[in-house]
Amino acid sequence: MSLNWPVCDNILLIGAGFSKNFGGLLASEMWSEVFNHPDVRRFPQLVRQLDESWPDYETVYERVVLAAQDSAEASALHRGVLDAYDKHDRKLRDPEGPIGWIDCDRLGEMLQAFAPSRGSGMVGFVFSLNQDLFPERHAWGRLHFGTPTLPGFGALPGRYGPYLEGGDGASLTKADLHRAPTSEEIGHQAERWITQGNLHWIKLHGSQNWRDSAGRDLMVIGGGKDTQIQQEPILRWYWELFKRTLFEARHRLVVIGYSFRDPHVNEAIVHAIQTVGVDLVVVDAIPWGDFRGQRRDGCYWGDLASHIASDAGSRYLSKNLADYFPHSSHDTRGVDWQEFRRLLLSPLSSS
């Protein structure tokens, strides 16, 4: 596939830690929701598997649900995971939750650093590994940085728009469930989906309100994510778009809230580092020593950490979004945010 327009220098990749800033659940918290679900507790063997896998509920999901979809245990675990995502969504839309702790105007200003400027002729990307509805709930109504497009599913019209029938504060209804486009539909329309002057929000692992052509939940969960992606046309196209964007030219890839546990994602990043060079900026509250000392077998961990440590344009910022955008202050001259902003607006390194 080819891109019709050049991509902005800054590309954003987000994981569960990004949504956590707004009340979302981390993997360990999702595990707790699944582990304590009443349907799951009916099966001692299933509870034992989850206990032994803490905090990795996805491995158990792969083993039980993806491998034996017709079993009673599989149905119970699937329901537990879906209800955990519903809890995640309820927390994201809670007006008294963490969404009120962050100055969203300033966050919207940050996201503008990934969007094309007017008349630039470029395209921008936010690649998300999350299946939650954060962009649908908040991208327009609260972040005020414009309406991103969701290729294959239309734009995200925002807080009171039709994408979520009840607005950003309501639970999902059947009207909010969307069927993924077929291979034929993608083939006829994909070239028109990536458009000049727009910021595109790409959900690489699907979404909790998407359904495939057979009406099944379209979320990539468990091991073998690369295999699951190849089985669904829209996700396969999204993945090719992610790789094509990374390899198109040298970029600054800003990673917020991703734990680097997905080998297929890390492999693509390392390949881009080795072929075109990437300035890798990681924003994570974990101290660098703890981050650097982690071991992720098969996840290209050493390559990624070494690149951050040695590349002139790469950074590791031990922060969370509330450090940059505290709601208690509307001072746009905050030191942390201004330093981060200067980094995002700086030229790419020449190394």
As beta bridge partners, residue 279 has 252
Q: How far is CA 127 from CA 12, 77, 205, 261, in A?
A: 6, 28, 10, 16
- State the distance between the two ends of the chain, measured CA to CA, in whole angstroms: 28
d(C-alpha 324, C-alpha 279), whole Å: 21
- Look at residues 263, 260, 241, 244 and name the one whose alpha carbon lies nearest to residue 308: 260
Tokens matching residue 141: 């109504």
CB 217 within 8 A of CB 84: no
Q: What is the dihedral of CA 93, 97, 100, 104, to 10 degrees?
A: -50
CB 208 within 8 A of CB 128: no
CB 251 within 8 A of CB 244: no
Q: What is the dihedral of CA 218, 13, 144, 338, to 10 degrees?
A: 160
d(C-alpha 148, C-alpha 18), whole Å: 17
- Look at residues 251, 257, 249, 262 and name the one whose alpha carbon lies nearest to residue 311: 251
d(C-alpha 351, C-alpha 349), whole Å: 6
- What pLDDT shows up at residue 105? 65
d(C-alpha 345, C-alpha 336), whole Å: 14
d(C-alpha 201, C-alpha 264), whole Å: 19
Name, in order, each residue with C-beta under 8 angstroms of 45's C-beta and a sequence gap of 6 or more: 73
As beta bridge partners, residue 178 has 210
Per-residue pLDDT of the chain (351 residues; tens, 9 = 90+): 556 789 999 999 999 888 888 778 888 899 999 999 999 999 999 999 999 988 888 888 888 887 766 788 889 998 999 899 888 888 877 766 655 567 666 777 788 889 888 888 899 999 999 988 888 777 665 555 556 788 888 766 544 334 444 445 667 777 778 888 889 888 888 888 888 888 899 999 988 888 877 777 777 776 677 788 888 889 999 999 999 999 988 999 999 999 898 889 999 999 999 999 999 999 998 899 988 888 777 788 888 999 999 998 999 999 888 788 776 655 556 788 889 999 999 998 775
Residue 38 has a CB neighbour count (10 Å cut-off) of 10
Size of the chain in residues? 351
Tokens matching residue 3: 């891109």
- The C-alpha R_g of the chain, in whole angstroms, comes to 20
Predicted model pTM: 0.89
Give the distance from CA 39 to its chain's centroid.
28
